[in-house]
Amino acid sequence: MRTTTAANLSADNPTLLIHPPDTIRTVADTTAVMLMTRQLGPGGTERQLTEMARGLDRDRFRVHVGCFHEGIRADELRAAEVPLLRLRVTSFIKPNALTGAFELGRYLRRNRIRVLHTFDYPLNCFGVPVARAFGVPVVLTSQRAHRHLVPPLYLRLQRIAERMASGVVVNSESVRQELVAEGHVPPERVHLCYNGVDTERFQARGRSRMPGLAGAELVIGVVCVLRPEKSLQTLLRAFAQAARGRPEIRLAIVGSGPELSSLEPLAKELCISERCVFQPMIADVAPWLRSIDVFVLPSLSEALSNALMEAMACGCACIASRAGGNPELVRDCETGLLFEAGDAPGLAERLHLLIANPALRVRLAHAAVREIECRFSLRASAARLAEIYDSYLHKVSGHRGR
């Protein structure tokens, strides 16, 4: 039986995270899989990859992670003893792309990777051809956002990668339908795997106010990357209308991104800046979610929002736009409330309903927690992903399955 050691992992690659020999499982006992994303920052895709890397059954899978750039999730992966490969690729048209391709290929062969699963479109375009060239048996891409958000050149390259791949993993039914409708990937090769929430980390117990929100009677808030498609101006305008004359109600916007420069002036224009708290994105958002009573996701486009799922798990009463996969998470008037994307007066009406009805807030929050625990837990997502991997591995010649 061949055993992977620190020595043969580190050969030719000083960028790897190396573990002592006694922490590495034997190759014969587990199936080696590699998950890849462009960067390991605070975004939802990066968070989901990290959760899957930690959540897949280690008695069955030996998980590796690859990226172009590190970030706050890299430390979480190291703490979980997940081997990490950083490829110093800065552009597909620079020489370091070719160097990175051969470095990845050598790593795939040396570690006998059986499944390569890329999580975003840069790695879909980069990783799939490399994995095919170096003989990885199962190659999966991901589509985790609606296609209109993908730059045209990347979209053309992604379609080529999807044709080359064994299959495509999507995170919402709305994205699955969109991809199947394009016609270049057969429906049987498009697989739905909902995002999963770590319900031990994101839970309703221990709800309390974060600094800056102390004394607030009610907190309305959102956690997201501050991008135009999140439509946060809609939230600010709706808040100004619904909470007019209610200084005890605060608005918390937790996140970083290009829209911050326009949101702060808008808050001043709407005369709500003194009631708004802008908190830069942090690695652990759970305490902030437990500070929020009403979570609002006003996105114009959304595949399946990690932040919305985490807010539901933390016991927030949630309001979401009818965009993308949001209605797959929030059943209107059952596990939350829905409104039409971009409709600030409609959102203000929903906010006013929850402001005026504490009992409804409690009922929706309890239902949201149960929904996440039953359908969207990390355990359920990891089990579904393992099922997809197994379905392809069993088709590969010589694979005996687990």
Q: Could you report the per-residue pLDDT of 192-222, keeping only the tens digit for each?
A: 999 999 999 999 998 889 988 988 999 999 9
Using pLDDT thresholds of 50, 70 and 90, give the confidence band for residue 12.
very low
Q: What is the pLDDT of residue 1?
A: 38
Cβ proximity of 369 and 197 under 8 Å: no
On the question of pLDDT at 23 being above 80, the answer is no
On the question of pLDDT at 13 being above 50, the answer is no
Using pLDDT thresholds of 50, 70 and 90, give the confidence band for residue 28.
low
- 16-25, 290-299, 383-392: least confident range: 16-25
Which ranges constitute the DSSP H helices of 165-305? 173-182, 232-242, 260-269, 286-289
Predicted TM-score (pTM) of this structure: 0.81
For 169-195, letters b (16+ CB in 10 Å) and e give bbbbebbbebbbeeeebeeebbbebbb
- Region 6-196+378-393: CATH code: 3.40.50.2000
Query: Which DSSP string corresponds to 314-355?
Result: TT-EEEEES-TTHHHH--BTTTBEEE-TT-HHHHHHHHHHHH
Q: Could you report the per-residue pLDDT of 138-196, keeping only the tens digit for each?
A: 999 998 877 877 788 888 999 999 999 999 999 999 999 999 999 999 999 999 999 99
Using pLDDT thresholds of 50, 70 and 90, give the confidence band for residue 398.
low
Burial-class residue 137 by CB neighbours within 10 Å (0-12, 13-18, 19+).
Answer: middle
Q: What is the pLDDT of residue 2?
A: 40
Q: What share of the chain is helix, strand, coil (3-state, %, to 5)?
A: 45, 15, 40
On the question of pLDDT at 11 being above 90, the answer is no
Q: Could you report the per-residue pLDDT of 265-320, keeping only the tens digit for each?
A: 999 999 999 999 999 988 789 999 999 999 999 999 998 999 999 999 999 999 99
- What is the length of the chain? 402
- 68-77, 96-105, 147-156, 178-187: least confident range: 147-156
The C-alpha atoms of residue 34 and residue 87 are separated, in whole angstroms, by: 13
Hey, what are 103's tokens?
């470095």
- Region 218-375: CATH code: 3.40.50.2000
* Residue intervals in the chain for CATH 3.40.50.2000: 6-196+378-393, 218-375
